[in-house]
Amino acid sequence: MKYVLAGVFVAILVACGSGKKTDEQAFLNSLDSANSVADAIDDELIKSVLQNIPSPIEISVLLKESGRKYDHSMLNSPENISKYNNNYKMALNLGVYGTDLGYTNIYQQNQDGIKYLEPIEQLAEGLNIGQFFEIETIGRLAANSKNLDSLLLLTTKNFNDINYYLSSQSRSNLSILLLTGGWLEAMHITCQLSVKDPKNKVLQDTIGEQQIILEQILILFDLYKHDENMAPLLADLTNLKSAFEKIKITTTYKAPTSEVVNGVVVVKDNSTTTVEITPEDVNNIKTITSEIRSKIIS
Amino acid sequence: MKKLIVTAAFLITAIFVSPDLSGQCDSDGYSNACIPKLATGFNFLKSYKIDSESGAKDKIEFSYVFTKGTQYMINLCAGGTSTDGLVVSLYDSKRNKVATSKVNGEFISAIAYPCNATGIYYIQYTFDGPSAKCGGSALGFKR
C-alpha cells in the first residue's frame, strides 16, 4: 500500500518536473533588475501589442524587390558583441543582429550571414534562451544559397518561439527590447537607402508607415516608463515620434470584394492609404534613428 | 482498495506524463502543420494556436500590421474534414470586415489578401457548428 502511494507521488513529481522547468528556472534566475516592474503590468495587453509588430524580414524583402543593392556597411559589426554585457543591451542587440541576419539571408549573402550566427548564439545564451536557436541547422542551411526558404522559415520561427516564451514567462520587457532593436535596425537600413535615393517614393512611404509601428512600440515602452533601463530609450523614441508628426497617412475606405480561386478566398482590396512625407522628413527621421541606434550598438 | 489505488496511479501518470493522451487540443501541432501549407512564394511570418479551451472561448483574435503593396496569406489547419468548422475572418483597423473563409456555407482553408491600405488588421478565428474547436493557422507574405 505504502509503495503504491509512493509510486503515485513519484509519478506526479516526474510529470510536474518534465519539460523545460530547469531551463525556465535558470532563465528566471538570470534576469536582472530590469524585470522588477513587470509584475505590475498587464501581460495580456503587452502580448496583444507585441504581436502587432511586423517582422523586419518584410522590409528586407521590400528593399530587395525594389532593386536596392546589398550593402553590408550599414549593418552592425559582429565584432561589437563584446560590448553587450547586460540583459538590456543583449536583448536589444539580439534584435539588431536578427534583422542583420535576415537582411543577409534575403540577399543570399551567406558568407556575411554566417558571421552573425556566433554573436546571435552568444547573446541568446547570455539571456538563457539559447535553446530556441538551432544554430547548427541555421549554419548548415546558410552554407547553401538554395536553402533560402528553409533558412528564413527557421530563423523566423526561432525568433517567434523566443518572443512567445519570454511573454509566457512574464518577462515581456526583454521581448519588447528584442523587437525594438530589430525594428530600429530595419528603420536604420531603410533610412540610409532612402537618403541615397531621395526620389524613391516606395522607400519614403515605407518609412512614413513606420509611424504606426512606432505608436505600438511606444504603448509598450510607456508601461515601463519607471524602469531605469527602459526610460532613457522611451525618451529617445518619443523624440523620434515627434519627427513623424509632420507625416500624414490618409486611408480611404471602399468595401472589398472577394472570390474563391483554387480553394483560396482571394480578396480585392479597394481601400487605399496615401502617405504625405518629404525628403526632409526622411532626413530628420534618419538622423534621430541613427542617434538612437548608435547608443544601442556601442 | 489496492486495485483502486493502482488504477488511480495509472490514470494520474497517464494524464500528467503524457498530456497528448488527455484529450487536450494540440493547437501547437496544427499551427506547425500549417506553415509548410502556405502557398509557394509566401514567406512565413507567424503561426497561431487556436484553442477554444474546451469551448470556453467562442472566438480567438490576433492582430498584425499589414503593409500596402504586400500580399498576405492566412491558412487554417484542423482535424476532421475540411477545416472542422474553423473559420478565419479578417477585419481592418476600423473593424470593417475584409474577408471571411466561410463563403456561401463552404469552409475554405485559406485567405489571400493583397493589402492596399497599411494599418492594424485583426485576424479572428471562430467555430461554426459541432467541432473540436481546436486548430492552427499560419500567416505568410510575399511582395
Residue B56 sits in a domain of what CATH number?
2.60.120.380
Q: Report the distance separating Cα A165 and Cα B83, nearest Å.
A: 28
**pTM score, two decimals?**
0.85
The residue of chain A with its CA nearest to that of B2 is: A1
- Count of domains for chain B: 1
User: pLDDT, tens digit, for every residue of A59-73?
Assistant: 999 999 988 999 999
Contact B12 A12 (CB under 8 A): yes
- The whole-number pLDDT of residue A23 equals 45
Q: Mean of the pLDDT values across residues B131-137?
A: 92
- Per-residue pLDDT of A72-100, as tens digits, reads 999 999 999 999 999 999 999 999 999 99
Average pLDDT over residues B53-69: 94
* A274 falls within a domain: no
Contact (CB<8Å) B65/A52: yes
Question: Rounded to a whole number, what is the distance in Å from the CA of A1 to chain B's nearest CA?
Answer: 7
Does the structure show a pLDDT above 80 at A30? no
CB-CB under 8 Å, A266 with B65: no
Tell me how far apart the alpha carbons of residues A88 and A76 are, in angstroms, rounded to a whole number: 17
- Decide if B76 is inside a domain: yes
Chain B residues whose beta carbon lies within 8 Å of the beta carbon of residue A48: 63
Q: Are A266 and A154 in contact (CB under 8 A)?
A: no
Q: Domain of A149?
A: 22-247+279-297
Q: Is residue A7 part of a domain?
A: no
Confirm whether A111 is domain-assigned. yes
CA distance A112 to chain B (A): 21
Residue A76 in domain: yes
> Is residue A253 one of the residues assigned to a domain?
no
**Which range marks the domain in which residue B134 is found?**
25-142
Instruction: Tell me if A269 and B16 make a contact (CB, 8 A cut-off).
Output: no
Q: What's the structural domain count of chain A? A: 1
Does residue A46 lie within any of the structural domains? Answer: yes
Q: C-alpha cell of A35? A: 524585470
pLDDT of residue A36: 47
In sign, the C-alpha dihedral spanning A97, A98, A101, A107 is: negative
Average of pLDDT values for B116-121? Answer: 97
Place of cell 507521488: A9
**pLDDT of A263 above 90:** yes
**Burial call A79-116: b when 16+ CB within 10 Å, e when fewer:** eebeebeebbbbbbbbbbbbbbbbbbbbbbbbebbbbb
A108 pLDDT higher than 80: yes
Among B5, B86, B104, B116, most A C-beta atoms within 10 A, so best to mutate, is: B116
Q: Do residue A8 and residue B12 have CB atoms under 8 angstroms apart?
A: yes
Which pLDDT score, from 0 to 100, does residue B132 have? 85
Residue B11 lies in a domain: no
How sure is the predictor about A21, in pLDDT bands with cuts at 50, 70 and 90?
Answer: very low
Distance CA A231, CA A235 (A): 6
Report the residue of A269, A273, A274 to disrupt the B interface, i.e. the one with the largest count of B CBs within 10 Å: A269
Mean pLDDT of the A48-55 span: 92
Asked whether residue A265 is domain-assigned, the answer is no
Complex ipTM > 0.95: no
Cβ atoms of residues A113 and A101 within 8 Å: yes
Is the residue at A45 inside a domain? Answer: yes
pLDDT of A148: 84
